[in-house]
Structure 1
Amino acid sequence: MQLRRNFMKSLALAVICSGLAMAQDIKIAHVYDKTGVLGAYAKQTQDGLLLGLEYATKGTMMVNGHKLVVIEKDTQGKPDVAKSMLEAAYADDKAAIAIGPTSSGAALAMLPVAEQFKKILLVEPAVADDITGIKWNRYIFRTGRCSSQDAVSNAIVLDKKGVNIATMAQDNAFGRDFVAAFRGSIKNAKLVHEEYLPPATSDFTAGAQRLFDKLKGLPGRKIIFINWAGSNAFKIADLKPERYGIEIATGGNILPALALYKPFPGLEGAAYYYYESPKNKVNDWFVAEHKKRFNNVPPDFFTAGGMAAGIAVVEALKKTSGSVDTEKLIATMEGMAFETPKGKMIFRKEDHQALQSMYHFKIKVDPAVAWAIPELVREIKIDEMVIPIRNKR
């Protein structure tokens, strides 16, 4: 009988200990556009996130004795679904921190949920300025670049006297935020026209003609700058802008999309990431590990962002000794610097936007490479870019 009582006590103790161990797990919800039109971008972010958590924990997936558990939630790229998925992650899954999503529309719907639950939402890679601007709240941080960082870096590349620029962008937050920041950064060149088209546009004839009419006949260099996601906006090249001496320019993109840049050797712009551009030990590990695990394919644009998000979470948790208390995390993350595949990022205290380098490139075409190579001209460093603070904090 005594033996049985001892056994039952031991069993009860084991159950209690098991429960405590489970309670110590730190749940991280990745609420992202797993399905939908941005699914390819989202898959990259997920791969990068897992690599980032692994790298920052030295392969243990532990911080201060706490196991990191990643929960996946699919927003389908729909704002209403994104909102409900984040609510479920915080309320039902007891996630301490959430990361995501891909779509800016989905992200904007998620921001009030983080405030309601008083939990951190680390935005990666949605880019709309409003996320860390007028729609921001103190629970929002972002490792992903914002539209202003894309715009300011591309303006730095093209802003020269004697240059006339017309922009073509999607008529949504992604497109309009970009152009607003681009316009504000142009000091020497002339912005002569802004063309906004529906996001699902596939026939660019009418928009292209308006662009041509605004640029043709102007003296100096003439450029159409394209800011587009999804469909192939390079189709405007089929309408032969070169007959008017008009060039095409755009920013960086994922490797499959870079294949579309092949007809444009010499095209210039600024990129968030290309695997050969950064020179640091984090990127060296990242590129080598990604190639090892994914059939010798290098990491891509959004994979780098996912890794940055994973590293940021781990570095914050290390500094709080594994505490997921939201106020401690906010105090820790404001102004926090951390090393990523892009080099140093810094969460700006005022709006929690990660300040980061961008990369001036010029397109090089190599028949042996499936995509056009955005060959590095130079790194555009944090202190060269004036990124507006828009949250009116």
Structure 2
Amino acid sequence: MKPVFRMIGSTIAAIAVSGAAYAADPIKIALVHGISGSTYEVFSKQTHTGFQMGLEYATGGTMEVAGRPLEIIIKDTQFKPDVARAALAEAYGDDEVLIAVGGTSSGVTKGMLPIAEEYERILLIEPAVADSLTGEDSNRYVFKTSRNSSMDMQAQALALAPDENLFVATLAEDYAFGRDGISAFKAALDGSGATIVTEEYVPQKTTDFTAATERMFNALKDKPGRKVILIYVAGGGDPMGKIQAMEPARYDISISTGGHILPVLPTYKRVPGMEGAIYYYYEIPRNEINDWLVKEHQARFDSPPDFFTAGGMAAALAIVKGLETAESIDTESLIAAMEGMSWETPKGTMTFRPEDHQALQDMYHFKIRVDDEVDWAIPDLVREISADELKIPLGRTN
């Protein structure tokens, strides 16, 4: 049965009903994401869709756990740290949610971490990526189903097959996501013999990459061996297209970047044969949950599920398993149940590392293929990079 929506003040609550009123108190979950004020809002909307579908799948359509209905309250952070902190505090305090899921921007999400500790309630991070979200500034109430920057960059490094003949210039946005990502990439190359020749950081929402690109060209053009510009930009601005338009091939420079959401993949048609690493592409995982997600999403929305749809579903599946296996439905019991917990997702098995609550998961090495019958470039699987291959630095240890 599909969820029924009702208004609660400035939020929307999704409540599944089975034809009769529930006597039991609902289990309240808040989705605290930016759904206005940024181009990143598409990430939030995908996460919300995947989360709803994940709850449906995990509960067999009943939308209840242990005889209690699940109530979802949606909060808009507007991609502003102060608004995000207030929204999360309101969710824990006034709305009395047991668990919050958020946020979208790594920088905004970082400011939410102490609110979870203050209220002693779980914050499940999805889809924000930065390593620091489970780092020294995190706390025992924070769990993270989204991949982190080290996963992105270790997988990206493996895709580039680094050795002493590889020279790389990096381009990233100047905030937590970009800085953490490049730091992780440098760590992944350590000991391989590869060389980082320059690092370029641009403000968020940059649209003119000319100066940064010229500096990268100058740093790379006289190097021997393989020369690569690595792009690690989550937002718009089309850096890959603009760099490609400046003809890096005249210096034997190639471009590499990670995978992206479906609306961005048409731009990858300009780089056939490019290799990189991706978190999720709907045709890659082969398992029962992903098969259901692809089939149902196509039927309901006339499109396949995307990056953060899978992430939202993984978060919902984690919460339901935690609720089902905890000795009682309260924060301390949930923490005990979720630390070290493994569960199945559209990507296969994920496991919350006990020490810092980061979900360990597989990544995928891809190679871009262009098919004129498909609107976007296709990231064909080269090989699955298992979670065991990724030596993810330990974050919070206390």
Q: TM-score, normalised by structure 1?
A: 0.93
| Structure 1 equivalent of residue 235 of structure 2 | 230
2:301 to 291, 294, 301: 294
Return the offset for 1:262.
0.6
| Structure 2 equivalent of residue 370 of structure 1 | 375
| Structure 2 equivalent of residue 176 of structure 1 | 179
Q: How does 1:145-224 map to 2 (within 5 A)?
A: 145-161=147-163, 162-186=165-189, 187-188=191-192, 189-224=194-229
- Residues 170, 182 of structure 2: 8 Å contact kept: yes
| Structure 2 equivalent of residue 272 of structure 1 | 279
- Residues 355, 397 of structure 2: 8 Å contact kept: no
| Structure 1 equivalent of residue 360 of structure 2 | 355
Deviates more, 1:191-200 or 1:371-380: 191-200
Distance in 2, matches of 1:205 and 1:150, equals 26
Distance in 1, matches of 2:338 and 2:326, equals 10
Which letter maps to 2:185? Answer: F
| Structure 2 equivalent of residue 83 of structure 1 | 85
2:246 to 239, 244, 249: 239
What secondary structure is seen at the aligned counterpart in 1 of 2:36? coil
Q: TM-score, normalised by structure 2?
A: 0.92
- Residues 99, 122 of structure 1: 8 Å contact kept: yes
Which letter maps to 2:311? Answer: G
Distance in 1, matches of 2:72 and 2:206, equals 36
2:350 to 342, 345, 348: 345
| Percent of aligned pairs with the same amino acid | 55
More helix by share: 1
Which letter maps to 2:81? Answer: P
Distance in 2, matches of 1:266 and 1:135, equals 40
- Residues 84, 112 of structure 2: 8 Å contact kept: yes
Q: Gaps (5+ residues) in structure 1?
A: 1-19
1:143 equivalent in alignment to 2:145? yes
Q: Which portions of structure 1, spanning 4 or more consecutive aligned residues, are displaced by more than 4 angstroms?
A: 20-23
- Residues 78, 105 of structure 1: 8 Å contact kept: no
Distance in 2, matches of 1:181 and 1:80, equals 28
CA deviations on 1:255-294 (whole Å, 9 max, x unpaired) are 0111111110011100000001111111011101110110
| Structure 2 equivalent of residue 96 of structure 1 | 98
- Residues 353, 360 of structure 2: 8 Å contact kept: yes
Which letter maps to 1:30? Answer: L
- Residues 30, 100 of structure 1: 8 Å contact kept: yes
2:259 to 247, 252, 269: 252
Which letter maps to 1:247? Answer: S
Which letter maps to 1:307? Answer: M
Distance in 2, matches of 1:80 and 1:32, equals 13
| Structure 2 equivalent of residue 5 of structure 1 | none
Q: Gaps (5+ residues) in structure 2?
A: 1-20
What secondary structure is seen at the aligned counterpart in 1 of 2:313? helix
- Residues 290, 346 of structure 2: 8 Å contact kept: yes
Return the offset for 1:195.
1.1
Distance in 1, matches of 2:26 and 2:217, equals 58
Which letter maps to 1:338? Answer: W
What secondary structure is seen at the aligned counterpart in 1 of 2:197? strand
| Structure 2 equivalent of residue 25 of structure 1 | 26
What secondary structure is seen at the aligned counterpart in 1 of 2:201? strand
1:109 equivalent in alignment to 2:111? yes
Distance in 1, matches of 2:231 and 2:329, equals 42
Distance in 2, matches of 1:369 and 1:72, equals 34
Q: How does 1:322-341 map to 2 (within 5 A)?
A: 323-341=328-346
Distance in 2, matches of 1:23 and 1:114, equals 26
Which letter maps to 1:93? Answer: D
